[in-house]
Amino acid sequence: MADSEDRNLTSLSLREKDADRKQRRGAAGDDAVRRFAVDAARLLGDHHCEDVLILDVRGASDLTDYIIIASGTSDRQILAVSGHVEQEATTHGMARYGREIDAPATWLVLDFVDVIVHLFEPQTRAHYDLEMLWGDAPKVEWQRGEESSNE
């Protein structure tokens, strides 16, 4: 019975998040969400994060449209750059839905509903290998002057 209740709570949480996404989407629109993802990736690159990647998971995920993955060089950098990403989100009218960080600050997740940002220490990134998990998702070019998707 407990498993059934857990699944119902999870389904409810997912439904609530999806309803929240639809409500926000009406205000922001697909182009604004993509623009935020690209600008956030550029910000990460400008702040010396390594191997910055945007994955377009629309159609593959019910939870989000874009996943950004980047590696930081230290826990201090990961924490600092996460604050910059949150400030960037504010300028795009995107609110943070959630934030999680592991104790040694080797993995930090920022959830903006339509965009989820994963900031990793390189060894932790290799361990979880999200690129492999979402390997079929098209990569979105984020470098200045390259705004198309590699599909």
69 with 130: CB under 8 angstroms? yes
**Per-residue pLDDT, 24:** 54
**Which positions of the chain have pLDDT values less than 70?**
1-28, 145-151
| pLDDT computed for residue 3 by the predictor | 45
The answer to whether 109 and 118 have CB atoms below 8 angstroms apart is yes
pLDDT for residue 36: 97
What 3-state class would DSSP assign to 87? helix
Say if strands 115-120 and 66-71 run parallel, antiparallel, or are unpaired: parallel
DSSP state of 141: P
| pLDDT recorded at residue 9 | 46
pTM: 0.79
| Number of domain units in the chain | 1
In whole angstroms, give the CA distance from residue 94 to residue 65.
Answer: 14
Q: Is 20 exposed, middle or buried (0-12, 13-18, 19+ CB in 10 A)?
A: middle
For helices 75-91 and 2-46, angle between their N-to-C axes, nearest 10 degrees: 90
What CA–CA distance (Å, rounded) separates 151 from 144? Answer: 19
Q: What is the pLDDT of residue 29?
A: 79
Would you state the pLDDT for residue 32?
92
Cα distance between residue 57 and residue 67, in whole Å? 7
pLDDT recorded at residue 135: 86
Per-residue model confidence (pLDDT) at position 13? 62
How much is the pLDDT for 18?
60
Question: Could you tell me the CATH number of the domain that includes residue 32?
Answer: 3.30.460.10
Per DSSP, the residues of 69-82 read EEE-SSHHHHHHHH
**Which residues constitute the domain of residue 42?**
2-150
